[in-house]
């Protein structure tokens, strides 16, 4: 079984500051890990994903995340926040296993960016 | 552009009414999903479908049913709406080639209010 914990329901940063959104997972099998973003009044869209291979994954809009197996973490970062990054971010996990696997989402972190 | 379309963005219904939420995808995807999104709870899986006429319960199926008569269409049904079903409902699809690593494509959501 898989589960996801996102630390902090709200994160506030100033424009130009580092963005760090935390995600820890639990999985009984090797995980696939995802970050999705949801802008106001829209559905979710994929930012980036880790499947296998390189543990540092780059996504859209300058975001990246690093898979750390020893820490069971997949934190999302961006060096310099823009106002347009204000949104809700969801971490998700599914299992590296044969057969159908459901995607399990965290409770989300709302990123607030101030001028 | 790939597209998942949810027929109604906003609905207001009365307690006891039967409610249909429709979702159509144009990507020839095998897998389709219905999630419910509530503040502080993230996304919770209601039902999913492997393929046409196939359906499986997710984590919170009580009070809901689904129908998948055609590959492109996945309907969520509330047989007798209750106030605790007031929520945002998100439909998503995924191609079988992606299986557990593939991106979920989301619709823009249907915000249901039950009075």
Express each pLDDT in A97-111 by its tens digit: 555 677 889 999 999
Minimum CA–CA partner of A89 in chain B: B42
Residues on chain B touching A41 (C-beta within 8 angstroms) = 108-109
Express each pLDDT in B32-73 by its tens digit: 999 999 988 999 999 999 888 889 999 999 999 999 999 999
What's the confidence (pLDDT) of residue A97?
A: 59
Interchain contact, B58 vs A108, CB within 8 Å: no
Express each pLDDT in B68-103 by its tens digit: 999 999 999 999 999 999 999 999 998 766 555 667
What's the confidence (pLDDT) of residue B104?
A: 87
A with B: how many residue pairs have Cβ under 8 Å apart?
Answer: 53
Express each pLDDT in A36-54 by its tens digit: 999 988 899 999 999 888 8
For an interface test with A, the pick among B27, B43, B111 (most A C-beta atoms closer than 10 Å) comes out as B43
Answer yes or no: are the C-beta atoms of A95 and B100 closer than 8 Å: yes
Burial B33-69 (b: 16+ CB within 10 A, else e): bbbbbeeeebbbbbbbbeeeeebeebeeeeebebbbe
Interatomic CA distance for residues A108 and A97, integer angstroms: 25
């Amino acid at each position: 079984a898989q589960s996801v914990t996102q630390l902090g329901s709200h994160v506030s940063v100033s424009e130009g500051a580092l963005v760090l959104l935390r995600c820890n997972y639990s999985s009984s099998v090797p995980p696939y890990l995802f970050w999705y973003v949801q802008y106001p009044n829209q559905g979710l869209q994929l930012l980036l994903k880790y499947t296998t291979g390189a543990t540092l994954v780059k996504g859209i809009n300058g975001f990246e995340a690093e898979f750390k197996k020893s820490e069971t973490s997949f934190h999302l970062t961006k060096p310099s926040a823009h106002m347009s990054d204000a949104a809700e971010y969801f971490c998700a996990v599914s299992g590296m296993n044969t057969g159908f696997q459901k995607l399990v989402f965290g409770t989300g972190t709302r990123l607030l960016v101030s001028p | 552009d790939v597209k998942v379309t949810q027929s109604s963005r906003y609905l207001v219904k009365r307690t006891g009414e039967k409610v249909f939420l429709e979702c159509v995808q144009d990507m020839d995807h095998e897998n389709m999903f219905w999630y419910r999104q509530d503040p502080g709870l993230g996304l919770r899986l209601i039902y999913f479908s492997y393929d046409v006429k196939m359906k499986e319960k997710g984590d919170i199926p009580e009070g809901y049913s689904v129908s998948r008569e055609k590959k492109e269409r996945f309907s969520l049904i509330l047989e007798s709406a209750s106030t605790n079903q007031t929520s945002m409902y998100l439909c998503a699809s995924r191609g079988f080639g992606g299986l557990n690593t593939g991106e979920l494509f989301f619709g823009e959501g249907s915000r249901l209010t039950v009075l």
